[in-house]
Amino acid sequence: MYVRPKQLWWLIPVFLGLFFLGVSLGALHNRHAGKVTIMAEAERAEADRTVVAALLDQLTGQQERPFEVLLKDHVLSGRYQGQQFQVSGEFDGHHMELRRSGQDVSVSVDGQVQDHTALPYALFTPHEHAALLKAHLRSVTPLAVSDPSNRAWQGYRLSIPAEEVSSLLATWLGPSFPIQEAEMARQISVDYHVWYDGATRELRQLDVLLQMKTPAGTKQDQLRFRL
């Protein structure tokens, strides 16, 4: 059958309809795929929070545990139980010992008592760091990280939200430090690395990483607990 060119005009709305139908279906597919991706990411983050919470539970028990504190190139060894701890070791050629029992804190260097406020967040035990992390876990998205030393460890990085850093530092540093007046929390970021044995699911190491922006550049500090 021969169709005259003038009679082809009716095909135009058909082609346009099919075109816009295809565009609409594509947009619908993209929106659906985006929702699926968001849902998958949310489910993965929730699953990771469950894993991290279980790991942190290992640190918040009431049993006494041995641990090591690494400050730069120095290692202090001892034991902790809840908020109580005792560690000692060599620090820049001097013997250092730190103890805390209840509200009593003592720091001695070569047997001489020192001002314990010189070591603020180092006085927190793994138990207390774990409790702080668990308190902020709902507002943190765990990021899986690999162990650079190629051990059979797996890990998560937890970045404390900026709005939470101020209260965290106020807890660490105590009421004598004017954190609100100095507004240093805006310049400081706090990250945790939680490392565990992939085979046994036992927590092996907890790292606390601090970065502070200064006029001279960014300064970094790290505290490491080996368990």
Give the pLDDT of residue 193.
92
Give the pLDDT of residue 164.
72
- Between residues 21 and 103, the one the model is more confident about: 103
Predicted TM-score (pTM) above 0.85: no
| Cross-strand partners of 210 | 190, 221
- Between residues 147 and 28, the one the model is more confident about: 147
Give the pLDDT of residue 218.
79
- Between residues 174 and 97, the one the model is more confident about: 97
**What is the average pLDDT score of the chain?**
75
**CA distances to 6, 81, 199, 204, 208 from 159, in Å:** 68, 26, 25, 19, 10
Closest by CA position to 163, among listed 136, 132, 192: 136
**What percent of the chain lies above the pLDDT cut of 70?**
68
Find out whether 171 and 132 touch, Cβ atoms under 8 Å: yes
pLDDT band per the 50, 70, 90 thresholds, residue 195:
very high
pLDDT tens digits for range 113-140:
876 665 554 567 888 888 888 888 888 8
- Between residues 53 and 7, the one the model is more confident about: 53
Give the pLDDT of residue 96.
82
Mean pLDDT of 2-11: 46
Using CA atoms, how far apart are residues 98 and 115, in angstroms rounded to an integer?
Answer: 11
Q: How many CB atoms neighbour CB 162 within 10 A? A: 12
Give the pLDDT of residue 124.
78
Give the pLDDT of residue 172.
64
pLDDT band per the 50, 70, 90 thresholds, residue 202:
very high
Give the pLDDT of residue 217.
77
Report H helices in 3-62.
11-57
Give the pLDDT of residue 12.
47
